Amino acid sequence: MHKSAARYLIFFQYTGTKYSGVMKTAADQAVEGVENHLESAVRKLKPVNEVSVVISSRTDTGVHALCNSAHVDIQRRGDKPPLLEQDLVDALNFHLKAEPIRITRAYRVHSDFHARYRAVSRTYVYRFASGLRHHTEMPVTERDLCWALRDTDIQFWELTFKSRSFLYRQVRRMTGALVAVGQGRLSVRQIQELLEARDSLAFPQNLTAPAHGLFLTNIQYRETDLGACRLAEQ
């Protein structure tokens, strides 16, 4: 008789340029999501159970993550004990080595833990550079990782946003609105009108900041959730 599956919370990072976003895409789609590769790596560990990775925070096409998270159940064959956390990290990274995706940490958690609903906060950073006469002046190390704005002197800026959750494209829209105000394309009064409208369709689509400047940088959980399984076993 098989033992029950062990649930793990994994933290991972990725460069989002080549992916359709973090969420899984159908097999017939040309561009895959990060989740497709995570599930493929878990399947290569040959678990007994059907593999399903539950992502905590979705990111769109071109958005990057220094820290995203997900939970996954792994039931090993026969009487094999649950994988140690570091062994899981090492094994998944071995199978992900061809992709710009890396597992940074793993925690054994209780079977009712949910990566999305137990998250206390999410932090995003939007990066942009001002002062470029043309986008080709962007340093090669920053291409596809920063929004290039034209001005006089090159300066790099970072805007940080932290909340328990965000609406669809909320950070990109807030960033675009701030930049538009700074450039004189949108007035403070117009911002107030957009807020009072309470309608996402009222926001001008051409003001949304591009995806490649956005990074998901942190998902925070309560320490009691992360250490609960260890304490129960002691």
Q: What is the pLDDT of residues 88-131, one digit of tens each?
A: 999 999 999 999 999 999 999 999 999 999 999 999 999 998 87
Q: How far apart are CA 67 and CA 221, in angstroms?
A: 12
Alpha-carbon separation of residue 37 from 46, 168, 184 (angstroms): 15, 24, 43
Q: Are residues 75 and 48 in contact, defined by beta-carbon separation less than 8 angstroms?
A: yes
Query: Does any domain span residue 102?
Result: yes
Where residue 125 sits, what CATH number does that domain have?
3.30.70.660
Query: Does any domain span residue 1?
Result: no
DSSP-H helix ranges across 138-222: 170-182, 188-197
pLDDT at 124: 98
Residues 103 and 148 in one domain: no
Mean pLDDT, rounded, of the chain: 90
Catalytic residues: 60
Q: How far apart are CA 89 and CA 111, in angstroms?
A: 19
Residues 134 and 113 in one domain: no
Residues 190 and 132 in one domain: yes
Domain count, the chain: 2
Residues 114 and 129 in one domain: no
Question: Which residue, chain included where needed, has tokens 């094994």?
Answer: 91
* Average pLDDT for 213-217: 97
Question: Which domain, by its residues, includes 208?
Answer: 121-217
DSSP-H helix ranges across the chain: 34-43, 85-95, 170-182, 188-197, 223-233
Residues 199 and 228 in one domain: no
* β partners of residue 159: 126
Residues 209 and 110 in one domain: no
